[in-house]
Amino acid sequence: MFKAPRGTRDILPPEQGYWKWVTEKAAEMCRLYGYQRIDTPVFEDAGLFVHSVGEETDIVEKQMYTFEDRGGDKITLRPEGTAPVCRAYIEHGLHNLPQPVRLFYFGPIFRYERPQAGRFRQHQQFGCEAIGAADATLDAEIIDMAWNLYASLGLKNLTLQLNSIGCRTCRREYLQRLKDYYVSHEGSLCRDCRNRLSRNPLRLLDCKNPNCQDLMKGAPRITEYICADCHSHFTLLQDCLVTLQIPYEVNPYLVRGLDYYTRTVFEIQPVDVGGQSTIGGGGRYDNLIEMLDGKPTPAVGFATGLERIILNLQKQGIELPTVAGGRVYVAYLGEEARKEAVRLGARLRRAGIAATLAMDTRSLKAQLKQANALGFSHAVIIGEEELKANSVLLRDMANGSQVQLSAEEAIRRLKP
Ligand code: HAM
């Protein structure tokens, strides 16, 4: 028997209401902040991610779905959304538009991870990228959007972790200090971290191994090494967050799992579970467009996993808002009435009313029982008597009351 591949899941109808609600809220947030939708392919040239996310990151080293297609091209199912958006920005000359260009996307992301609660091999992201401005107020705008999205859904008890990892120049000295520190503790590092030490020391701060996490507590803090420009950027961002009344915690060891970040990095997490289940994260990536052969262009963005949002909504017992407008079940008795029911179903839908026809000529009682079980708000019943009188019975499923009236009148009453 076939099953969904490990780490993937089917989203069955009862959960779809959450998806609809969350994506509508996110799209509404984008409208309010002036972000426009972009869609990029689900797969890209593998090199795009190696160059942007970084060769020595877990994503590139261990998690990409990469394969050679029949034409011999090396293809990767996208493991994140920022690099493809930057690729599109360069490819379509979006630097010619007024800057910054504010974009958002929804789509599946693929990472070969060890599946666990909230961690999948295919997940859905909603992401925003603001490309073409270096201003710290843009970092604040991105964080504000993420924060307000969660708030508008009613999510509570979230923390915002914030850090600045400096720019290319000031990070150099920090990396040397970090290396010096870890070299003196090399014996206690995990195998991955011993590798990271020479190849990509910043990744040492991202290790989940408990020993390495303990060691991290004594490591030099990047916020003490950032240059004056990076420092004033970070200060202005924090001032904006205070103005926007967004509480935050500076975490000097937050580095995130992708190499393209400069200056601001942030993560939003539920208070009770910590870093393993971050629901959203992002930061500034001022060198990425240039690394992909575009003109030097500063940018900032964030992304959030829709499964993790929904998981947290359910955990926090947040119920879906009730949707206005009911659904109608068309019940009937007898062959003649069946044709009338088909006609009535079509008329209801043309009038914008959701209508479902009873199947099989079961007893009226059985049909109404099914309408009840399926949660219909109303039933329209056509029996022999109604057929003769050219009328229908409109039944309120909640209280069982019913009235006989013309089809036109029933449609008028049912209209949302
Ligand atoms: P990320 O932190 O790797 O960042 O992923 C963003 C969000 O996607 C995470 O906070 C989490 O909610 C969700 N997520 C990641 N991996 C999984 C998984 N295996 N299963 C379920 N959900 C997952 C990025 O991808 C960056 N591109 C964000 C960004 C945009 N930075 C700047 N702009």
Ligand 1 site, residue 301, Cβ cutoff 6 A? yes
Phi (first) and psi of residue 87, to 5 degrees: -60, -45
d(CA 148, CA 146): 6
Q: Which pLDDT belongs to residue 206?
A: 86
Q: Whose alpha carbon is nearest atom 7 of ligand 1?
A: 304
| pLDDT of 354 | 93
For ligand 1, atom 25, name the residue with the nearest CA.
80
Whether the CB-CB separation of 154 and 318 falls below 8 Å is answered with yes
CA of 240 to the centre of ligand 1 (A): 24
Q: Is the CB–ligand 1 distance for residue 257 below 6 Å?
A: yes
CA distance 402 to 378: 10
Q: How far is the CA of 263 from the centre of ligand 1 (A)?
A: 18
Coil, strand, or helix at residue 373?
helix
| pLDDT for res 37 | 98
| Residue 76 confidence (pLDDT) | 98
For ligand 1, atom 23, which residue shows the shortest CA distance? 305
CA of 109 relative to ligand 1 center, distance in Å: 9
Quote the pLDDT of residue 277.
Answer: 82
Find out whether the beta carbon of 127 lies less than 6 Å from any atom of ligand 1: yes
Tallying the residues shown for the chain, one arrives at 416
CA of 190 to the centre of ligand 1 (A): 25
Phi (first) and psi of residue 283, to 5 degrees: 160, -175
**Residue 186: how many other CB atoms lie within 10 Å:** 10
What is the rounded CA–CA span in Å between residue 112 and residue 63? 4
pLDDT of residue 155: 96
Q: What are the backbone angles phi and psi of residue 257, rounded to the nearest 5°? A: -95, 10
Write down the pTM of the prediction: 0.92
Pick out the chain residues at pLDDT < 50.
Answer: 275
- Ligand 1 site, residue 139, Cβ cutoff 6 A: no
Residue nearest to atom 21 of ligand 1 (CA): 119
Domains detected in the chain: 13-167+226-315 (3.30.930.10), 328-414 (3.40.50.800)
- pLDDT tens digits, 133-157: 999 999 999 999 999 999 999 999 9
pLDDT at site 321: 82
Q: Vertex 310, ends 307 and 315: CA angle to 5°? A: 120
Q: Are 379 and 385 in contact (CB under 8 A)?
A: no
Pocket test for ligand 1, best of 258, 287, 313 (most atoms within 8 A of CB): 258
